[in-house]
Amino acid sequence: MTNEKMIIEIKEWLKEAADYIRVNLTNELDVSQKSGRTDLVTNIDEETQLFLIKKINQHYPNDRILAEEKGFNSLDSLNGRVWIIDPIDGTMNFVMEHENFCIMIAVYQDGVGQLGFIYDVMKDELYWGEKDHGVFQNDRRLPQPKDAALSEGLIGMNAYMYRKNIYSAGEIGHASMGIRVSGCAGVELIAILKGNHIGYISNLSPWDYAAGLVLINEFGFSYSNIEGNPLAFDKREYFIAATPKAYTEMQEKFIHK
């Protein structure tokens, strides 16, 4: 692999961050709200992000960083090498369930995803890959999922979009075998990589999808914003990713709404 040294380093950082999270999971958390009572951030989110940023700055001081917390949540471009971090994806699950949350790291070069890592902390499962080198679950290379149609599989869904039928999300859910709502983009993208789900529709920020895009690209999945345009990487937007067959069917429903 062309980025072998960086891959080894990132895996070590993820393991160290996850160990810290697991040790502190049962301690009293400092929980605060961002945009509202269901949009949470904890001291562990911030401490995990700070740990990862320090590692990047130490080893790759000329690189730039886009991350969810503490003033790192915007960049004017993706020029050069950019690290995109979600220190805890699924913070509500982290706080309320103590499971179903992930650490996500992506490395992009001039806007093109090179490395992606989604680490399910409580399952100790790392899904990772490098551009043009496949996707792995820990050390096992994952097989190519089936290009299933919408009617043949489950689809991950944002609960509010489904309930309000935003962009025909409710209709799409009914056309599938059923919807699943995990509250964590990383968990949903893992389900696509494993072939358990045929797609995912939600409202996401760049750090929610950056790592996953590197990985689903390896399997030839289709993705875009809900209108079929490239993702902006600079704001929250409606997001769709799916097998090519299911993606085409869903886009037809959006168009004809």
Annotated binding site for Mg(2+): 68, 86, 88-89, 208
Q: Which of 87, 122, 91 is nearest to 105 (CA)?
A: 87
**158-197 b/e (C-beta count within 10 Å ≥ 16 → b):** beebbeeebbbbbebbebbeebbebbbbbbbbbbbbebeb
Q: Which of 157, 52, 47, 139 is nearest to 94 (CA)?
A: 47
Quote the distance between the C-alpha of residue 17 and its chain's center.
17
Single-letter code of the amino acid located at 13: W
Whole-angstrom CA distances from 98 to 25, 85, 93 are: 7, 20, 6
DSSP conformation letters of 117-164 = EEEETTTTEEEEEETTS-EEETTEEPPPPP---GGGSEEEE-HHHHHH
Distance between CA atoms of residues 154 and 184, nearest Å: 16
Determine contact, residues 128/104, Cβ cutoff 8 Å: no
Residue 235 CA neighbour count, 13 Å, CB half: 5
Distance between CA atoms of residues 208 and 205, nearest Å: 5
3-state DSSP assignment of residue 171: helix
Residues of the binding site: 68, 86, 88-89, 208
